[in-house]
Structure 1
Amino acid sequence: MSQFIDDVDQRTRLVGQNRMELLLFHLGGAQSFGINVFKVREVIAKPKLRHIPGSSPVVCGVANIRGRTVSVIDLAQAIGFPSLAVEEGDDAKVIVTEFNRSVQGFWVSAVDRIVNVNWEAVKPPPRGTEKDSYLVAVTEVDGRLVEIIDVERVFAQVNPVKADVSDAVQKQAEEMPHDRRILVVDDSLVARKQVERAISELGFRTESRSDGKAALEYLEELAAADMVDASIELIIADIEMPRMDGYTLTRKIRENSKLKGLRVILHSSLSGQFNIDMVKRAGADDFLPKFDPEELAETVLRHVRRS
């Protein structure tokens, strides 16, 4: 199973085509869950874990994985299911992930397979569930529902992210005009709130959408009313989103004569050269890994000055 992560170049070709690959897994039952393959470093048999006193209840221990100490999270318990420790099976695995500048493991009861899906087939969670669950999106594979977990929210529960901007950077922002909004586009509620808070500390107002298609529809409404220049300062968009990813959103913006002048910063939990290259191909103005509030604030101010 760990072999798939070595083939990054092949999977990179999917990026920018509004497609993704999901690693499917289970959490003690028949229900299938998914995580974007680009967040996954490898899948290993559940190793021996060493308990760390005072750690979060959902952290079942730490393991030495390829010379690195990695926290392992009981993913079932973290999202409100019974702990996998209650009835651990022989198929237990740890999905070793890398996102938000950190490496962590998620203990799951079994790993299924990798599937290729179109982002258009990945839908936002049912209304009323966004604030109360760790579900970021749903899709269907072979006629069965797959629930995609907001692992950024899970990780924030274990390791809360600092979201404050320094006084020095806030002081710089006082010199900027604040009459236009910054559009924040991200399917993760936690990620949106983090970005919105950092931006609000700079004195800017925000408008937010949970996927690229909703953001594009909003921008097209402004364009139809000739309100783009008066309304939007710049756009900060996630890359992985249901219905329309950040690369596709950027290309759509560049193809519209009334929108093409907007500055777009792609902001992703994924890092690496492939993202930098795809940002250039899509026509975005900048790429920023998640989540450093100071770096985000400085990037926003730099682009506001240019605009």
Structure 2
Amino acid sequence: MGRYVARRLLQMIPVFLGTTLLIFLMVYSLPGDPVAGLFGDKGADPATIAKIKHELGLDQNIFKQYWDYMSGIVLHFDFGTQIRNGRPVTDVLGDAFPVTLQLAVLAFAFEIVFGVGLGIIGGLKAGRLADNAILIFTLLIISVPVFVLGFIIKMVFAFQLGWIEPNVSNEQRFAELIAPAIVLGGLSLAYVARLTRTSMAENLRADYMRTAIAKGLPKRRVIGVHLMRNSMIPVITYLGTDIGALMGGAVVTEGLFNIKGVGGVIYESISRREGSTLVGLVTILVIVYLVTSLLIDLLYAVLDPRIRYA
């Protein structure tokens, strides 16, 4: 196990460097000049623009910029400063990430509880009325775009019923994040439910299930231990990759509910060509993906004792 973890950690290094370099090159290849954009339509003389670029290091080779940027992150945990207002990127990330993290955790819990729950019901009742109803419901959720689902929830529950506020306040109270979390986790919930249902229906016909039933084991043990542990492996794989997707894919949801999180920062960074801010956000998301991927791989051995890591 220790050797496997060490090998995976070493493999993360080139993946991390390659991903961040690709994002860095893509961001700085966007059209437009972020320094010239500071002056708007009035413009500025070339000497002033050249001076600001020199102070920010934007006049250097692109690979030299990447080296300086990564050196600052690794050695000093310094993500640079914003071009527009000179604010440290770490402060921007510190304000945005906790909000999105709360939203992502709520959405993740929502899709686990209801997605896995519906999948279990559908798998155990395969081919029956409950299973068909769940399949139709999840197919409907998959076919509805996120922004449409968000507008429907706001229209019905905020404007017509008055159960929720249409926008999240600056305090980001827990109750206010429930509706955005449902919107954010709705699509993933449908995929989790269908994946759980398919996996359980398939494992119900496996030889080890017939053997467990033939031995006279209690139904609770047959389903809870033998069926669930083997059926959850593909579901856990999807959930592990979905954690980072929930944090990085909240642009539409946060915009609909006026949430000041990562989504808004990403949109603003792209529109203003704030490369250091955008790369900093993506860097943290890459780390989240890599860590969760390792944890999910280690969890396989807990779910299935036949899996061993040499």
Richer in strand (by share)? 1
One fold, TM greater than 0.5?
A: no
**Which TM-score tier does this pair reach, normalised by the shorter chain?**
under 0.3
Richer in helix (by share)? 2
Higher Cα Rg: structure 1 or 2? 2
